Amino acid sequence: MAHKQYILPSAGDRCHVMGILNVTPDSFSDGGRHEAAEAALAHARAMIAEGADIIDIGAESTRPGAAAVDETAEWARLEPVLEPVIALGVPVSIDTYKAAIARRACALGAALVNDVWGLQKDPAMADVVAEAGVPVVMMHNRLEADASIDILSDMDRFFERSMEMAARARIPRERQILDPGFGFGKTMDQNYLVLNRLDHLARHGLPVLAGASRKRMIGAVLDVPTGERLFGSLAVHLLASERGAVIVRVHDVRPHVEALAIQAAMRREAFAGEPVRTGH
């Protein structure tokens, strides 16, 4: 099946919203909620109706302490859901670090690969992405947090390795996207340093995705449980967009679509002298 092509937002457009669809029993925020195929499809439809630009489907939790899932189990969770969601007509991203899963998902029509290990976990991943001809999100990750390191320098080195792997596999630069990996192998202070200095990533010349939806970095500041972190998530993602992110990965689609539309209207008026457009 040919994939529904994903096209990054143009200058002046609203930052794109990637809606999260977890088909896992143990994700930190919504584990088990969309595990059944019917529930997953209904949630995908709802996110599309709310304005999601892309749906990100994952079948293995990457929360701290989550049990690893083998390829067979991961595909068993994905298979009943993936093709029906792709058929809805909005680009679909596959959230996996396993090359075999990415290959099968792209063969069904997935439009993007979202790799939380930035092509560095599975040596076959870069070639799979190149063969599929889809964009890839390369996320910064660490096995554990270390408060003593310069996290920005660590990210630079990590992304340089990822970009080298992408180049060797002949993944065009216009299909490479960086993700700073909020909450992955970072202390709380490092998460906020990365947010504050997100424009640092501009030196790599690639678009940036930010995903902090409902994460502990928000709960720690606001002292609210996972399900009550919408307002904090909006704040972090609006700040990330101001600092250069062109995609945000979220659980709550409509609030982000609307907040980012207001931000885009302000940008058009302030920087481009264009009239403010109505509607999405």
Each residue of 175-196: pLDDT tens digit? 999 999 999 999 999 999 999 9
Distance of alpha carbon 49 from alpha carbon 41, whole angstroms? 12
Q: What pLDDT band is residue 32 in, cutting at 50, 70 and 90?
A: very low
Q: Which two tokens stand for residue 166?
A: 């992408």
Return the pLDDT at 27: 46
Give the domain 16-271 fold: TIM Barrel (3.20.20)
Instruction: Select, from the ranges 1-15, 18-32, 61-75, 159-173, the one with the highest average predicted confidence (pLDDT).
Output: 159-173
Distance of alpha carbon 218 from alpha carbon 235, whole angstroms? 9
Long-range CB pairs of 271-278 (<8 Å, 24+ gap) are: 271/12, 272/12, 274/12
What are the domain boundaries of the chain? Answer: 16-271
Asked if the model's pLDDT at residue 61 lies above 90, the reply is no
Whole-prediction pTM: 0.91
Environment class of 50 (CB within 10 Å of its CB; exposed 0-12, middle 13-18, buried 19+): middle
Report in angstroms the alpha-carbon separations of 240 from 67, 227, 235.
30, 21, 9
CB 99 within 8 A of CB 128: yes
Q: Which residues are catalytic?
A: 215, 249
Q: What pLDDT band is residue 34 in, cutting at 50, 70 and 90?
A: very low
Report in angstroms the alpha-carbon separations of 66 from 71, 108, 124, 126.
15, 27, 24, 25
